[in-house]
Amino acid sequence: MRVIAALWLRNVKLFVRNRVQLVLILIMPFFYLYLLSNIFQSTAIDNPVPYVLAGIVIIVVFQTSLNIASSTIDDIVSGYMKEVLVSPVKRIQIAVGQMLSSTTIATFQGIMILIAGYFIGLKYSSVLTPLAAVGFMIVAGLVFSAFGLFLAASVKQSQTFQIVSMAVTTPITFLCGVYVPLSLLPQGLQILALLNPMTYAAAFFRALSLEKMSLPADDLIAEQLAFQIDRFVITPQVSAVIVLTFGILFVLLSTIAFSRADFTSINRTKGSKDIFQQ
């Protein structure tokens, strides 16, 4: 537990000390809110501001959770990770510490946006709703931190990692219904969006935050909080199960990949093309 706590505290301190990042956390989401609320007015969404804001919160949690990948790569390249591995600690403890710190930072960012959003229309009729929203942010943070750690442990070159990260995260981000309503996408992209775990995370979080979990299926589908495939309807509850299943899978895959990754032969020369060599 000391190793996990030490890694968690180190990463959280690095985040808190970055004041520019803290300021941008509060500024950028509301810039996107202003931009996207106009786009979503063209859909069947009655009140687009809270709807868009809820989507922005979960996408911030997703993007922040994936930062574990770049921070882990930085730790490997700088030699910090090798120094940690020299100590008598288990790699699974290091992986857990990395994921928990990333989840903490992602959840904190989401809470800050929710608090600010309360003053511009994101209201709750029950005190349990924001608590449940925070709980899901923690779950989503763990899910996508595990996904990010899997990417970091699987990719062996820093240049390749940048390409893979962009190739993976860009479609996940833009094909989840947060930036562009799924109803406005071409039919082919709508099908791809249904294969995207972020689609279900965003739908569940929106339904939870807007307190629409109990709406009829037709209303949920109209507001893109549920999805119909032939006669089967993916309700927000089913979306939550999909996200949890994805998370369990990548928690296992990330810990296995991180435990088996070879960090012993790392070229720390900045100009080197092959930073990771097996």
Cβ proximity of 187 and 141 under 8 Å: no
CA distance linking residue 200 with residue 222, whole number of Å:
15
- Whether 3 and 94 have beta carbons less than 8 Å apart is answered as yes
> Tokens 């012993």 belong to which residue?
264
Nearest Cα neighbor of 26 from 88, 117, 102, 152 is 117
Residue 70, pLDDT score: 74
Report the pLDDT value the prediction gives residue 244, as an integer from 0 to 100: 95
Q: What are phi and psi of 109, to 5 degrees?
A: -65, -45
How confident is the model at residue 273, as a pLDDT?
Answer: 39
Residue pLDDT tens, the chain, 278 long: 777 888 788 888 888 787 777 777 777 777 777 777 666 766 667 777 888 888 889 998 998 888 777 777 777 777 777 777 677 778 788 888 888 988 999 999 899 888 888 887 778 888 899 999 999 999 999 999 999 888 888 875 666 777 888 888 889 989 998 888 888 889 899 999 999 999 999 999 999 999 999 889 998 998 889 999 888 999 999 999 999 999 999 999 988 888 877 665 544 444 433 433 33
In degrees and rounded to multiples of 5, residue 70 shows phi and psi of -70, -35
Output the pLDDT for position 48.
79
Between CA 201 and CA 111 the distance in angstroms is: 16
Q: What pLDDT, on the 0 to 100 scale, is given for residue 142?
A: 92
How far apart CA 105 and CA 137 sit, in angstroms, is: 11
Q: Round to whole Å and give the CA distance between 28 and 19.
A: 14
Tokens of 48: 């687009």
Report residue 182 as tokens: 């799924």
> Distance (Å, rounded) from C-alpha 211 to C-alpha 232?
23
- As a whole number of angstroms, the distance between CA 155 and CA 152 comes to 6
Tokens 């092959």: give the residue. 274
